[in-house]
Amino acid sequence: STFSACPPDGEELGRSAWTLLHSAAAYFPEDPSAQQQSSMLALFRALPHIYPCLSCAEALGEEYDREDKEGGWEDRSLNLTEAVRSGPSLRKWLCGIHNEVNSRLGKPNFACTESKLSERWLDGPADGTCD
Ligand code: FAD
Protein backbone atom coordinates (compact mmCIF):
# COMPACT_ATOMS: atom_id res chain seq x y z
CA SER A 1 0.00 0.00 0.00
CA THR A 2 1.01 3.67 -0.16
CA PHE A 3 1.85 3.87 3.54
CA SER A 4 3.99 1.50 5.60
CA ALA A 5 4.79 1.38 9.30
CA CYS A 6 8.25 2.82 8.55
CA PRO A 7 9.18 6.49 8.95
CA PRO A 8 8.55 8.41 5.72
CA ASP A 9 11.42 8.98 3.33
CA GLY A 10 11.66 12.32 1.49
CA GLU A 11 9.32 11.25 -1.32
CA GLU A 12 6.53 9.97 0.93
CA LEU A 13 6.90 13.03 3.15
CA GLY A 14 6.68 15.29 0.10
CA ARG A 15 3.62 13.57 -1.36
CA SER A 16 1.86 13.72 2.01
CA ALA A 17 2.76 17.38 2.53
CA TRP A 18 1.58 18.37 -0.96
CA THR A 19 -1.65 16.43 -0.37
CA LEU A 20 -2.36 18.41 2.79
CA LEU A 21 -1.39 21.75 1.26
CA HIS A 22 -3.27 21.37 -2.05
CA SER A 23 -6.32 19.95 -0.24
CA ALA A 24 -6.39 22.90 2.19
CA ALA A 25 -6.10 25.24 -0.81
CA ALA A 26 -8.87 23.36 -2.66
CA TYR A 27 -11.27 24.01 0.23
CA PHE A 28 -10.11 27.62 0.80
CA PRO A 29 -13.12 29.85 0.10
CA GLU A 30 -13.50 32.40 -2.67
CA ASP A 31 -13.79 35.13 -0.03
CA PRO A 32 -11.89 33.93 3.08
CA SER A 33 -12.39 35.57 6.47
CA ALA A 34 -9.56 37.61 8.00
CA GLN A 35 -8.88 34.69 10.34
CA GLN A 36 -8.72 32.17 7.49
CA GLN A 37 -6.33 34.45 5.59
CA SER A 38 -3.99 34.97 8.53
CA SER A 39 -4.04 31.27 9.44
CA MET A 40 -3.21 30.20 5.88
CA LEU A 41 -0.45 32.81 5.74
CA ALA A 42 0.99 31.52 9.04
CA LEU A 43 0.89 27.90 7.82
CA PHE A 44 2.88 28.67 4.67
CA ARG A 45 5.27 31.09 6.37
CA ALA A 46 6.09 28.41 8.95
CA LEU A 47 7.22 25.83 6.39
CA PRO A 48 10.75 27.19 5.72
CA HIS A 49 11.33 27.00 9.49
CA ILE A 50 9.83 23.57 10.24
CA TYR A 51 9.55 21.47 7.05
CA PRO A 52 11.41 18.28 8.03
CA CYS A 53 13.85 18.22 5.09
CA LEU A 54 16.50 20.86 5.63
CA SER A 55 17.52 21.44 2.01
CA CYS A 56 13.82 21.56 0.94
CA ALA A 57 13.02 24.07 3.68
CA GLU A 58 15.99 26.25 2.71
CA ALA A 59 15.06 26.22 -0.97
CA LEU A 60 11.47 27.17 -0.09
CA GLY A 61 12.65 30.07 2.08
CA GLU A 62 14.82 31.32 -0.79
CA GLU A 63 11.82 31.09 -3.13
CA TYR A 64 9.72 33.21 -0.75
CA ASP A 65 12.52 35.80 -0.52
CA ARG A 66 12.81 35.86 -4.29
CA GLU A 67 9.11 36.37 -4.94
CA ASP A 68 8.97 39.14 -2.33
CA LYS A 69 11.90 40.90 -4.01
CA GLU A 70 10.87 40.32 -7.61
CA GLY A 71 7.08 40.21 -7.14
CA GLY A 72 6.54 36.75 -8.64
CA TRP A 73 7.13 35.58 -12.20
CA GLU A 74 5.30 34.33 -15.32
CA ASP A 75 2.36 32.18 -14.18
CA ARG A 76 2.86 33.25 -10.57
CA SER A 77 2.48 37.01 -10.55
CA LEU A 78 1.45 36.80 -6.89
CA ASN A 79 3.43 36.51 -3.72
CA LEU A 80 2.15 34.60 -0.69
CA THR A 81 0.89 37.67 1.16
CA GLU A 82 -1.36 38.60 -1.76
CA ALA A 83 -2.28 35.02 -2.62
CA VAL A 84 -4.12 34.29 0.66
CA ARG A 85 -6.79 36.87 -0.21
CA SER A 86 -8.85 34.34 -2.20
CA GLY A 87 -9.14 30.61 -2.93
CA PRO A 88 -8.35 30.92 -6.65
CA SER A 89 -5.24 33.08 -6.05
CA LEU A 90 -3.96 30.76 -3.29
CA ARG A 91 -4.40 27.70 -5.51
CA LYS A 92 -2.57 29.37 -8.38
CA TRP A 93 0.27 30.50 -6.13
CA LEU A 94 0.67 27.05 -4.54
CA CYS A 95 0.60 25.36 -7.93
CA GLY A 96 3.38 27.74 -9.03
CA ILE A 97 5.48 26.98 -5.96
CA HIS A 98 5.01 23.22 -6.51
CA ASN A 99 6.00 23.64 -10.17
CA GLU A 100 9.13 25.45 -9.05
CA VAL A 101 10.06 22.37 -7.02
CA ASN A 102 9.03 20.08 -9.92
CA SER A 103 11.36 21.97 -12.28
CA ARG A 104 14.24 21.79 -9.83
CA LEU A 105 13.75 18.01 -9.55
CA GLY A 106 13.26 17.45 -13.30
CA LYS A 107 9.57 16.49 -12.83
CA PRO A 108 6.88 17.61 -15.30
CA ASN A 109 5.01 20.86 -14.65
CA PHE A 110 1.32 20.79 -13.75
CA ALA A 111 -1.15 23.03 -15.68
CA CYS A 112 -2.25 25.56 -13.04
CA THR A 113 -5.87 26.18 -14.11
CA GLU A 114 -8.81 26.13 -11.67
CA SER A 115 -10.34 23.24 -13.61
CA LYS A 116 -7.20 21.05 -13.56
CA LEU A 117 -6.56 21.84 -9.88
CA SER A 118 -10.17 21.10 -8.98
CA GLU A 119 -10.10 17.83 -10.92
CA ARG A 120 -6.94 16.70 -9.09
CA TRP A 121 -7.65 17.98 -5.57
CA LEU A 122 -11.41 18.50 -5.15
CA ASP A 123 -13.88 16.89 -7.53
CA GLY A 124 -11.96 14.19 -9.45
CA PRO A 125 -12.37 13.69 -13.20
CA ALA A 126 -15.74 14.01 -14.98
CA ASP A 127 -15.77 10.28 -15.87
CA GLY A 128 -16.44 9.47 -12.20
CA THR A 129 -13.36 7.25 -11.68
CA CYS A 130 -12.76 8.87 -8.27
CA ASP A 131 -16.40 8.90 -7.06
P1 FAD B 1 4.73 15.22 -5.82
O2 FAD B 1 5.61 16.31 -6.32
O3 FAD B 1 4.80 14.84 -4.37
O4 FAD B 1 3.22 15.61 -6.18
C5 FAD B 1 2.11 14.84 -5.72
C6 FAD B 1 0.99 14.98 -6.75
O7 FAD B 1 0.63 16.35 -6.86
C8 FAD B 1 1.39 14.60 -8.17
O9 FAD B 1 1.26 13.24 -8.39
C10 FAD B 1 0.43 15.43 -9.03
O11 FAD B 1 -0.80 14.75 -9.20
C12 FAD B 1 0.17 16.64 -8.16
N13 FAD B 1 0.92 17.83 -8.61
C14 FAD B 1 2.16 17.89 -9.16
N15 FAD B 1 2.52 19.15 -9.39
C16 FAD B 1 1.48 19.93 -8.97
C17 FAD B 1 1.25 21.32 -8.98
N18 FAD B 1 2.17 22.18 -9.43
N19 FAD B 1 0.07 21.77 -8.49
C20 FAD B 1 -0.87 20.91 -8.03
N21 FAD B 1 -0.71 19.58 -8.01
C22 FAD B 1 0.46 19.09 -8.48
N23 FAD B 1 12.14 17.06 -2.75
C24 FAD B 1 13.46 17.18 -3.04
O25 FAD B 1 14.09 16.20 -3.41
N26 FAD B 1 14.09 18.41 -2.96
C27 FAD B 1 13.43 19.52 -2.55
O28 FAD B 1 14.02 20.62 -2.46
C29 FAD B 1 12.05 19.40 -2.20
N30 FAD B 1 11.37 20.48 -1.73
C31 FAD B 1 10.08 20.32 -1.32
C32 FAD B 1 9.41 21.41 -0.78
C33 FAD B 1 8.12 21.28 -0.29
C34 FAD B 1 7.41 22.48 0.29
C35 FAD B 1 7.46 20.01 -0.37
C36 FAD B 1 6.06 19.85 0.18
C37 FAD B 1 8.12 18.93 -0.91
C38 FAD B 1 9.43 19.06 -1.40
N39 FAD B 1 10.12 17.97 -1.95
C40 FAD B 1 11.43 18.12 -2.31
C41 FAD B 1 9.42 16.68 -2.24
C42 FAD B 1 9.00 16.61 -3.72
O43 FAD B 1 8.33 17.82 -4.10
C44 FAD B 1 8.00 15.46 -4.01
O45 FAD B 1 6.94 15.50 -3.09
C46 FAD B 1 8.62 14.06 -3.98
O47 FAD B 1 9.75 14.03 -4.82
C48 FAD B 1 7.59 13.01 -4.46
O49 FAD B 1 7.23 13.35 -5.80
P50 FAD B 1 6.03 12.75 -6.59
O51 FAD B 1 6.52 12.49 -7.98
O52 FAD B 1 5.38 11.64 -5.85
O53 FAD B 1 4.94 13.94 -6.72
Q: Is the distance from CB of 129 to CB of 118 less than 8 angstroms?
A: no
Please write the tens of the pLDDT for every residue from 4-34: 799 999 999 999 999 999 999 999 999 999 9
Can you state the percent helix, strand and coil of the chain, rounding each to 5?
65, 0, 35
Question: Ligand 1 centre from 127 Cα, in Å?
Answer: 25
- Region of residue 53 (left: phi > 0; alpha: psi -120 to 50; beta: else): beta
pTM, rounded to two decimals: 0.95
User: Residue 117 CA: which ligand 1 atom is closest?
Assistant: 20
Give me the interface pTM, i.e. the ipTM.
0.99
Among 7, 106, 14, smallest CA distance to 55 is for 14
Q: Is the distance from CB of 6 to CB of 15 less than 8 angstroms?
A: no
Question: Ligand 1 centre from 92 Cα, in Å?
Answer: 15
Instruction: Name all domains of the chain by residue range, CATH numbers in brackets.
Output: 17-123 (1.20.120.310)
Please write the tens of the pLDDT for every residue from 30-85: 999 999 999 999 999 999 999 999 999 999 999 999 988 876 555 556 899 999 99
